[in-house]
Structure formats: C-alpha cells, structure tokens
Structure 1
Amino acid sequence: MSDNLTQVQGVVQALTQSSDTLFLLLGAIMVFLMHAGFAFLEVGTVRKKNQVNALVKILVDFGVSTIAYFFIGYWLAYGSTFFADAETLSAGNGYELVKFFFLLTFAAAIPAIVSGGIAERARFYPVLIATFFIVGLIYPLFEGIIWNGNFHVQQWFEQHLGHPFHDFAGSVVVHGVGGWIALVAVIFLGMRHGRVRAGKHTNFAPSNIPFLALGAWILSVGWFGFNVMSAQSINGISGLVAMNSLMAMVGGILAALIAGKNDPGFIHNGPLAGLVAVCAGSDLMHPLGALVTGVLAGVLFVRAFTFLQNKTRIDDVLGVWPLHGLCGAWGGVAAGIFGQQSLGGLGGISLMTQILGTCLGILIALAGAFIVYGLLNQITGLRLSQEDEFNGADLAIHKISSTNEE
C-alpha cells in the first residue's frame, strides 16, 4: 500500500511539473508574440521612410536582450545561471528554463518600449549597445529587488509599512521602468527635424492606421498571457486577473475614445494604457476598481501625450513615456488604492509602500538610463545625421525601403 501511494504521489508530482512547464511556456510564447505587436504599432505610427527600421530594431533588440539576460541579467536578478550540464538544467521538465524564457520576454519589453520613443532619428548600433546594458544591468536590478527580495528592500517595506511592494505582473517593474528609461533616451536625442515650424509644433500623422491597429490588437491579446500567466503555475491561475485585465482594457478604450475625440491613434492605445495600469494589482482589485483604473489610465495617456506633442520639446514618437511610464506609475499606486478591502479588493497591501516602491523604480530607471545614454551620447553619439534623418532610417541604415516603388 505504501509503495502504491508513493508511486501515485510521484505520478501526480510529475504531472503537476509538466503542466506548470507547459502553462508557463504558453505564457512565454504569448508574451513573445507581443513583440510583434510592439513592432507593428511602431510601423504604423512612424513615417513610411522609417518602417523597415522599426521592424528590424524590435527583432534585433530581442536577440541582444536574450544574450544580456542569459549571461548577466537573470543571474543579477535571481542568482541563477545556466552553466551546468543539460541533464541538470532539464530537471523538473525544464521548468526553470521555461521560467527564464518567460521572464526574458518581460525584460526584452524594455528596449521594445524605448524603441517607440526614439523612433526615426536614432542610430542603430549605439541603441543596441544601450539595450545590452539596460537588460543586463538596469532592469534586473529593480526586478530582483521587487520579485526576488534582493537587498532586503521588500523586507524593510514589510517591517515598517506592513506590506511589501506589490506588482503582480509588472506595471512598475516592466512598464514603468521602460517608460522612464525611454524618457531619458528621448531627451538625449532631441526633437525630430521639422517638428517645429515657424515657432509652432507640427505633428507627423501615422503612416498606416491598419498596421497601428494590428499592433494594438496583438498586444491586447498577448497581455492576457502577460497578466494571467504571471502566476507561473497552474495552481495559481486566477479568473480575477483575467476579468480585471478585461475591465481595465475596456475602461482604457472608452476613456481614450472620449478624451481623444475619436482619434484612432488614441483609441488603439487606450486599451494598452488600461492594461499597463492594471498589471500591478490585477490579482487584488475588484473588477470595478480595475475599470476605474483603466479609465483614468486612458485619460492620463491622452492628456499627457497631447501636452508633450503640442507644448514641449520632448519628442516621444509613440508616446511611450505617457503610456508606459506614467500609466505604469499610476498602476503601482492604483494597486494600493483599489487593492484595499474597503474598496472591494483582497487587501494585504499598503498604499504608502506602493508609492515608495513606484518612486524607487522611477529613480533607478532615470539614474541608469542617464548613465547609459549619457555615456553613449558622449562616446559614439546617439542620433542620425540631419541628412540621414531626412532620407529616413530605412535607406540610411538598412539600404532598402519598405516597398518597391519601381
């Protein structure tokens, strides 16, 4: 009887391990597909002469990110490396390997976010060098603090404020950090030529609304893997996360429709604003709290992007700082508000911790980006020449245009 029980327990454990591995692998594939969404969102927004560059940047950034995260970033965040024999690495159905793949897709979202902000005037190889250091050093520093308890910061929050910083799927860890890094890069690059004419701001219209919409759709679908599968196990699946993601997405759509006055660019970025904001507290909020979070994120994106484009010299092409930086920061704070039991949430969260943790993420992003982009700007330069920018990054960098016009 004892042997039979042990055998059954072994079978159940093996089945659970294989199920968890498959579950996380599917999540990794869904988030990996989101990078196609980043690419098409950028392709549809930039001018036609920069479309090839947008596609190439996103793909090559992922390759560089993989190398940086494999050799440095994952070790820095979690203290684990892959310098062992294949038999050891494949233990437990290779769950740890799939976990790396899943978390890599999060890390690689950082340069994909940055890419949209610096589009149309950035040099190619200096940006790839920046990607290596951002994914290898800056992002995993904060990732390890929040998701692995490094440097005892989470312990300090819990001891002094009652609860650790909560970011279930990366409103701050991924999107906030990526958006604030992008802000620094955008400032270093300056405005695109022709954006200010006779003292007035001129906005360049998106080159292809269908491609922009396709990118938004791919991102929105993949986001359910981003959020729901952040549980990282079958046992952790929560329908609440899926429902809250849905409600925040819808809130962002409708808010962007109204605040953006039926502009298709705003409408298709609206769901992304809501989804960015709900990541942190999607496992804690009541669906009505998620809806409010998404509505406020949609309005925040539209207002902030409009202000940047028309009133400042910060030329953020896709609005990645408002979308990811500001909405991500709002998401960190929103988790502390709508996660409270008094507002229908599950509780176990501190608003003050959420505010301080969000500020810490912003500080690390700004400081790290200033060092990386500042040094590269001094050593190699970050920006295309005025002639290359006029001709477009497609011809200047890749020697080909997006369509054959012969």
Structure 2
Amino acid sequence: MEASLAALQKGGDVLFLLLGAVMVFAMHAGFAFLEVGTVRRKNQVNAFVKILSDWSVSTVVYFLIGYPISYGVHFLMPAADLMGNNQGYELVRFFFLLCFAACIPAIISGGIAERAKFWPQVFAGAIFAGISYPIFESIIWGQNSAGLQGFFENTFGAPFHDFAGSVVVHSIGGWLALPAVLILGPRMGRWIRGRSQAIPISNIPFLALGSWILAIGWFGFNVMSAQSLGGVSGLVAVNSLLAMVGGVLFALVASKNDPGFVHNGALAGLIAICAGSDLVHPIGAFFVGGIGALIFVYGFQYEQEKLKIDDVLGVWPLHGVVGTWGGISAGIFGTSAFGGIGGVSFMSQLAGSLLAVVYAVATGFVVYKLIDMVAGFRLDEEREFNGSDLSVHQIGAYPEESVK
C-alpha cells in the first residue's frame, strides 16, 4: 500500500509539472501572436519563425548546457537511468524550466523586431538560454544559490524571494533586450529630423490573441512553479488573477482605452506578481499588478518619445522595468504589515532585483556588441525596407496577394 501511494504521489508530481510545462510552452504562441500583431505586415512571417526557431535552439542548448549549469543535473546517461525511481520527474522538470529559459529570446525578439538579422539573433538567443540565463538562475534558484542567498539572509534577514520569475526570467529578458535595441538603433522612418513618426501596428486582433494566450498560460507559469502537487497554492492562482485584472483596469484608465496598452497591461500585472505571488494578499496583488501597468504605460511613452528608443513591443519597460518592480514589490506587499505572509526582506528584494539589472545589461552589451562587430546585427536598408519576410524567408504572410 505504501509503495502504491508513493508511486501515485510521484506520478501526480510528474503529471502536475508536465501540465505546467505544456501551459508555459503554449505561452510562446502568445509571444508570437503579440509580436505578429504589433509589427507591420511585411515582418509577420519573421516573427513566427523567430519564436519557433529560438524555442528549438533553446531546447537543445538548455538540455545540453543550461540545465546542468543551473542544477548540476545532466541527461547523458541511459534512458533507464533517466527514469530512475521517480518516473522521470527530472525530465519534466527540465521541460518546465526550459519554458522559462526560452522566454529570454522570445522577450528580446519583440524589442529588436523589423530590423535585426535572423541568424545573429538565433546565435545570441542560444548564448542567453544556454549560458547567461542559467548562470543567473543557478545563483538564485539552482545549485549555486547557497552563497548569494546565504549572504542576503545573513545581511538583510531573509533570502531573495522570486517565486515564479519576475526577476530571474522577465527582468533578465527585458534588460538583456535594452543593449540590443540601442545597438540596432531605430527603424527607418521612426524619427524624421528629430520628430517622432509613429509606425502603425498591423493587427489588433492578433495582438489581443497573443495577450490572451499569454495570460491563460501564465497560470501554469505561476501556479506550477510549486513544482509538486503537494505544494500547489490557491493563493498563487488568485493573486495571479487579481494582478492581471489590476493591470488591465489601471492601463484602461491611464491609456484612455488604448487597446494595445490594455492588453499589455494584463501582461504587466502578471509579470509584476510572479515574484511575490505566493506571499501577498490578493488585494495587494491587485495593486502590484496595477502599479506594474502604470509603469508600462508611462514607461513606454517615456522610452519612445523622450529617450527616443525604438523598442517595438516595449519589452524593456514591460519585462525589464516591471520585472524589477515585481521583485521589489514582493519586499513591500509580501510583508505582514501589508497583509502578506511575511518572511521577506525589502533590502534583499531591492539588492537582488538591482543585481539582475546590472548582470543583464552587462551581458547583453558584451554579446550584442561582439555579434555586431563580427557578423553585423542589422539588416541593410534595402532588406529592411522590403521587410524581413521577403528578405529573410522569401515569402510574405499573405502569399496569394503576390500571385498575378
């Protein structure tokens, strides 16, 4: 009987985490449609192919290099040994955490859209998913976490807390994208004689579909971060819901009903709540998400019109800055004074969040600068003018329109 119950528990954990992996895997379709809806028609095919290609490369490099760096576990052994006595739990854990690692190039893709070369970015994504991201993952969640987390606990009273990746995933991805966007420069025609010329997006329904797919998959991203059936938390689920709703409503008001901001506001709320979703009160989650949406709405406008940074999908403010807010907010709303569970330190959250910023910006600048020097990172003017679809893939999103 005990053996049967143990086997059932192990099987339940495998199924639980597998369902989470599938839900987060589906989020990559959300990344794709969000980008496809935001870029112009002549760059839609490129967005789809980039996301799928980056996913596939990320799978290989994270399997062979990244996961061993993060957790000290490799899979170069007979299949029987991979199954072990836990029904292959480590394999589905790899699948689940791969979905997080593969978010890094997917996030960056939206910032560099419409003017980046294809293969140099695939190579950059491989470096990030296989090396750069796993190194940071290892010191927060993985095999090397004892040193840094021990330092935070000894110095500030609690380790750095990031339950589902506001900082480890989203902040890292958004801040990695910033050097890439700066090195590329703006798209042709984005500013003329210093004056802003907005480039219209192609498809609001696709943008909305991308947001919806991401939002639904996010419940796998957050809830299944427990990584076992016994650790599942209804608090995480409801906090994710309230943060998403807070993001929508705050963005709705702040943007005066702009559909792009409203649908991205939902994502801002979900990004912000990842870190403290297992700690904060649902009312606190609503405000964490709402403030995250305000950061995105006003941050995107400031980025575009004041700083003149052509970040097509606004991935730096959305994932980078809001992800940083998410890490810091866990140290505010996660405390018992704000109705949270407690056991978290504001200073640990601040220090850990800022460490991610420094690490990502430095890493991104080095990688993209080297790529630009060696292979070139930007399409030439003719290829950019014609669009990535024809220039890179030799086919447009609507082929029948070219048939005479």
Q: Would you say 1:136 and 2:130 are equivalent positions?
A: yes
Kindly provide the CA deviation profile for residues 235-269 of structure 1, in whole angstroms up to 9, marking residues without a partner as x: 00100000100000000000111111111100110
Taking the aligned partners of 2:68 and 2:355, their CA distance within structure 1 comes to: 21
Residue 32 (structure 1) aligned to one of 20, 25, 34 = 25
TM-score of the two chains, using structure 1 as the length reference = 0.97
Q: Would you say 1:266 and 2:261 are equivalent positions?
A: yes
Q: Would you say 1:205 and 2:200 are equivalent positions?
A: yes
Q: Which amino acid aligns with 1:219?
A: L
Taking the aligned partners of 2:175 and 2:243, their CA distance within structure 1 comes to: 22
Greater mean alpha carbon deviation, residues 15-24 or residues 71-80: 71-80
CA shift, 1:149, in A, is: 5.2
Taking the aligned partners of 1:251 and 1:162, their CA distance within structure 2 comes to: 30
* 1:100-249 matches, cutoff 5 A: 100-148=94-142, 150=144, 152-249=147-244
Q: Tell me, yes or no, if the aligned pair for 2:115 and 2:388 is still in contact at 8 Å.
A: yes
Extract unaligned runs of 5+ from structure 2: none
- Give the corresponding residue for 1:390: 385
Q: Tell me, yes or no, if the aligned pair for 1:31 and 1:225 is still in contact at 8 Å.
A: yes
Q: Which amino acid aligns with 1:46?
A: V
Taking the aligned partners of 1:363 and 1:33, their CA distance within structure 2 comes to: 30
Q: Between the two proteins, what is the percent identity of the paired residues? A: 60
Distance 1:90 1:149, change over 3 A: closer
Q: Tell me, yes or no, if the aligned pair for 2:71 and 2:143 is still in contact at 8 Å.
A: no
Q: Secondary structure at the match of 1:257?
A: helix
Q: Would you say 1:47 and 2:40 are equivalent positions?
A: yes
Q: Which amino acid aligns with 2:349?
A: Q
Q: Would you say 1:376 and 2:371 are equivalent positions?
A: yes
Kindly provide the CA deviation profile for residues 322-349 of structure 1, in whole angstroms up to 9, marking residues without a partner as x: 1100100000000000000111000010
Kindly provide the CA deviation profile for residues 31-53 of structure 1, in whole angstroms up to 9, marking residues without a partner as x: 00000000000000000000000
Q: Would you say 1:72 and 2:79 are equivalent positions?
A: no
Q: Would you say 1:338 and 2:333 are equivalent positions?
A: yes
- Give the corresponding residue for 1:18: 11
Q: Secondary structure at the match of 2:87?
A: helix
- Give the corresponding residue for 2:51: 58
CA shift, 1:98, in A, is: 0.1
Taking the aligned partners of 1:11 and 1:158, their CA distance within structure 2 comes to: 40
Q: Which amino acid aligns with 2:20?
A: G
Q: Would you say 1:86 and 2:79 are equivalent positions?
A: yes
Q: Secondary structure at the match of 1:306?
A: helix
CA shift, 1:68, in A, is: 1.1
Taking the aligned partners of 2:204 and 2:377, their CA distance within structure 1 comes to: 29
Q: Tell me, yes or no, if the aligned pair for 1:122 and 1:189 is still in contact at 8 Å.
A: yes
CA shift, 1:361, in A, is: 1.0
* C-alpha RMSD over aligned residues: 0.8
Taking the aligned partners of 2:193 and 2:353, their CA distance within structure 1 comes to: 40
Q: Tell me, yes or no, if the aligned pair for 1:138 and 1:364 is still in contact at 8 Å.
A: no
Q: Secondary structure at the match of 1:89?
A: helix
TM-score of the two chains, using structure 2 as the length reference = 0.98
Q: Secondary structure at the match of 2:366?
A: helix
CA shift, 1:198, in A, is: 3.3
CA shift, 1:110, in A, is: 0.4
Taking the aligned partners of 2:94 and 2:257, their CA distance within structure 1 comes to: 41
Taking the aligned partners of 1:125 and 1:377, their CA distance within structure 2 comes to: 12
Q: Tell me, yes or no, if the aligned pair for 1:49 and 1:391 is still in contact at 8 Å.
A: yes
Taking the aligned partners of 2:193 and 2:141, their CA distance within structure 1 comes to: 49
Taking the aligned partners of 1:72 and 1:371, their CA distance within structure 2 comes to: 20
Taking the aligned partners of 2:15 and 2:163, their CA distance within structure 1 comes to: 20
Kindly provide the CA deviation profile for residues 179-202 of structure 1, in whole angstroms up to 9, marking residues without a partner as x: 000111111110001001232111
Q: Which amino acid aligns with 1:124?
A: F
Q: Tell me, yes or no, if the aligned pair for 1:50 and 1:120 is still in contact at 8 Å.
A: yes
Q: Tell me, yes or no, if the aligned pair for 2:70 and 2:143 is still in contact at 8 Å.
A: no
Q: Tell me, yes or no, if the aligned pair for 2:165 and 2:274 is still in contact at 8 Å.
A: yes
- Give the corresponding residue for 1:257: 252
Q: Which amino acid aligns with 1:374?
A: K
